Structure 1
Amino acid sequence: MDQKNKTTADFILLGLFPGCRYPNLLIFLILSIYALASAGNSTLILLIWLDPRLHAPMYFLLSQLSLIDLAYISTTVPKAATNYFTGRQDISFLACAAQMFSFLTLGLAECILLTLMAYDRYVAVCHPLRYTILMSPKVCLKMATFTWIGAAGAALVHTVYPMNFPLCGSRKINHYFCEIPAILRMSCVDTSVYETVKFVSTIIFLLAPFTLILTSYTLIFLTVLRMNSPKGRNKALATCSSHLTVVSLYFGQAMFIYMTPTSSHTPDQDQVGAVLGTIVTPMLNPLIYSLRNKEVVGALQKCTGRCWDRDKARSHW
């Protein structure tokens, strides 16, 4: 009886692309990306914390984005790698729910934060004289608090609801982590009502933020076109282009997965979208923001210069 209860309480994660011909190469690639993402985001957080020149609202929001990305990729890759190397594919009901809640919280938080970052750039370019008031440290702290609380609240609803659907037949999840579409495919009841709830939520957390971001950047570009200084125009465009690149990567895959019915795309398509959003994007974000930002590059050069000088001094003594 105990064994039976345990079996019905657990799920089986089939892993990342179960039909892949070269699983060893795939897991090596994923772990390499994970290492790069962890190093890049950790370095960016450390630089923003240490360098006084980066103690500005834009970099505070950027540090929050790096924190989200660091946690985001850590909710899926370590478990997938552990299952691969141990040969165990099981995950308990509570662990599956916890993973789904964490994944959704971080994903929704990133949507909100990317919108707030667009607002920050809008204020900086279109209302520079009011920037210190509209983006004061107190306002930034409220933004961060709202991001985390709002995301966690919505994620809780979208974790409890689908995890309470009765499941039929095999409990094999054709994915490398517990995600809503994968759970819905195993349900033996009509999920059309929840699909509607999910669609409305995606309008609120995906389409509406994406529209606000596009509106912000439309106003920014109109303002930039009226600038007389080519240097100021180029600086504004460079900062905004970095953010737009990140927005395109993240919102594109999220809209594909969550704004279309679960039955309209295959598990492999879900996995491709998930890999782009939860693994590739967290690796690219610190590279996009750091390589195209002179202040971040300067802070990195300053930090590495200090470390180099200390090593030289120690070797001299």
Structure 2
Amino acid sequence: MLQENWTTIKEFILVGFPDLDPKYYGLVSTTFFFVYVTTVVGNCVLVILFVKEHSLQKPMYGIMFSLALSDIGFSTVALPKIIAKYWFNDEMIPFHACFMQMKLIHYFGTVSSFVLMIMALDRYLAICNPLRYSLLMTNRTILSLNGIAWLSSFIVTTVIVIHASQLPFCGPNRIIQCYCDQTSIIKLACASSSSQVVVAFILAMTVLLGPLAFIIYSYTHIIVCVMRVTSAGGRWKTFSTCSAQLCIIAIYYFPRCGVYFSNMLGVYLTPNLRLSLLIFCSVFPPFINPFIYCFRNKEINHVLNQWAEKLQMGIKSFTLQLLQTLF
């Protein structure tokens, strides 16, 4: 339970980038607004595609569906407050709302980490064990794995919030971040928080290094299998399929791990650099994922082209009927 007798502050202040010149606030807020709208629209299109098109209801697309939902959730929790901070100078967030945002931020981030691990497992089986792939990776299997990812993420982040909520907060209340996260909040606690920082580090590394270790293991085997392919064309095709995923995985994991390890080892990062790394690895993958999956996937491209043709025919038919009615 939250120790109300020790907690005197009622709200937190989200400082954002501490050294950012106010004349750039409009540019920053507009950029984040564009990123948010593009992220939500792009991932919503993917979700609708996977729900409506039976041809896309396959294991790999079930993983993409789960990742798209997670990306929508994370962006909707994090970005509107960042936009409001720089667009309307709305930097205050109520005490309990901050903890709720922290819960959801870590929840969707953890889900994404686990889903990327499932995606690595799917690619490992498809490339290294193609004969057993259809037997092992069924829609039911993916549904179960996605369910485990979402449920276990809820349990882990609930522990994080309960752990942080037991700390006393009596000031200061300025969070050097664009949203509420565990590390920033723990640093504001009045009591000694060395053990809390260690626990926070262990939990963060569990949900980061665990999936990352499996991903590295999987893609190492994938690379070995690909190098055994005698055809240069076959090697190039396989590498091109996995390269985009590897880039997103690297962007998602490595900056986060760098920030967490720097905090633990006492390596100083300027607040702007630390915040830039965290924002980049949090916001960029959800923003770029729909472009990667739409433009690099032939099946999704084919479905989108069919939808575009149907939409074009519908507009022509509506226009013709409207003209006949008027004239």
Per the normalisation by structure 1, the TM-score is 0.91
Give the residue type in structure 2 aligned to 1:277. C
Aligned with residue 119 of structure 2, among 101, 111, 117: 117
Q: Which 5+ residue runs of structure 2 have no aligned equivalent?
A: 1-5, 322-327
Paired-residue identity, %: 28
From 133, 136, 140, the equivalent of 2:135 is: 133
Aligned partners of 1:265 and 1:293: how far apart in 2? 39
User: C-alpha root-mean-square deviation of aligned residues, in Å?
Assistant: 2.1
- Which is further off, 196-205 or 41-50? 196-205
Size of the aligned set, in residue pairs, is 313
Q: Aligned letter for 1:139?
A: T
2:68 aligned counterpart, secondary structure: helix
Tell me how far apart the structure 2 counterparts of residues 234 and 31 of structure 1 sit (CA, whole Å): 37
> What are the superposed Cα offsets for residues 178-231 of structure 1, whole Å, 9 maximum, x if unpaired?
112221221232222122222322332112211211111111122122234555
Q: Kindly state the Cα deviation for residue 247 of structure 1 after the two structures are TM-superposed.
A: 0.2
Match of 2:324 in 1: none
Alignment of structure 1 residues 47-126 onto 2, 5 Å:
47-126=49-128
- Gap regions ≥5 residues in structure 1: none
Q: Is 1:281 the equivalent of 2:285?
A: yes
Moved more, 69-78 or 278-287: 278-287
Aligned partner of residue 9 in structure 2, secondary structure: helix
Distance between the aligned counterparts of 2:313 and 2:8, measured in 1? Answer: 59
Matched, 1:269 2:273: yes
Assess if the C-alpha contact under 8 Å between 1:13 and 1:176 holds in 2.
yes
What pairs up with 1:215-230 in 2 under 5 angstroms? 215-230=217-232
CA deviations over 1:281-313 (Å, ceiling 9, x no partner): 211111122222222222211211111121122
Give the match for residue 246 of structure 2. Answer: 244
1:46 and 1:178 map into 2 onto residues whose CA distance is 30
**Residue type at the aligned position of 1:259:** F
SS of 1:91's partner is strand
> Shift of residue 239 of structure 1?
1.9
C-alpha contact 2:8 2:170 (8 A) present in aligned 1: no
What is the distance in 2 between the residues matched to 1:279 and 1:261? 21
1:187 aligns with 2:163: no
Aligned residues of 1:291 and 1:297 also touching (Cα < 8 A): yes
Q: Which secondary structure state, in structure 1, belongs to the residue aligned with residue 188 of structure 2?
A: coil
- Tell whether the 8 Å contact from 2:50 to 2:65 is kept in structure 1 after alignment: yes
- Superposed CA deviations along residues 246-272 of structure 1, whole A, max 9, x for unmatched, are 101100222123333266434323321
Match of 1:298 in 2: 302
The residue type paired with residue 43 of structure 1 is: V
CA contact (8 A) 1:195 1:261 kept: no
Deviation per CA, 1:15-71, whole angstroms, max 9, x where unpaired? 455633411111111101111111111111122222222211111101111111111
CA contact (8 A) 2:186 2:197 kept: no
Q: Which residue of 1 aligns with 2:3?
A: none
Separation of aligned partners in 1, 2:194 and 2:91: 29
- Which stretch has the larger CA shift, 184-193 or 241-250? 184-193
Distance 2:175 2:32 in 1: 20
Secondary structure at 1:12 match in 2:
strand
Corresponding residue SS for 1:8: coil
The one-letter code matched in structure 1 to 2:84 is T
Aligned-partner SS, 1:170: coil
CA displacement, residues 139-159 of structure 1 (integer Å, 9 cap, x when unaligned):
111111111111111111112
Cα distance in 1 between the residues matched to 2:7 and 2:313: 58
- Distance of 1:42 and 1:60 partners within structure 2: 14
* Higher mean C-alpha displacement, 259-268 vs 211-220: 259-268
Instruction: Tell me the residue number matched to 1:28.
Output: 30
Deviates more, 1:221-230 or 1:124-133: 221-230
Aligned to 1:190, the other structure's residue is in SS state coil
Give the structure 1 partner of residue 312 of structure 2: 308
> Which of 41, 44, 58 matches 2:43?
41
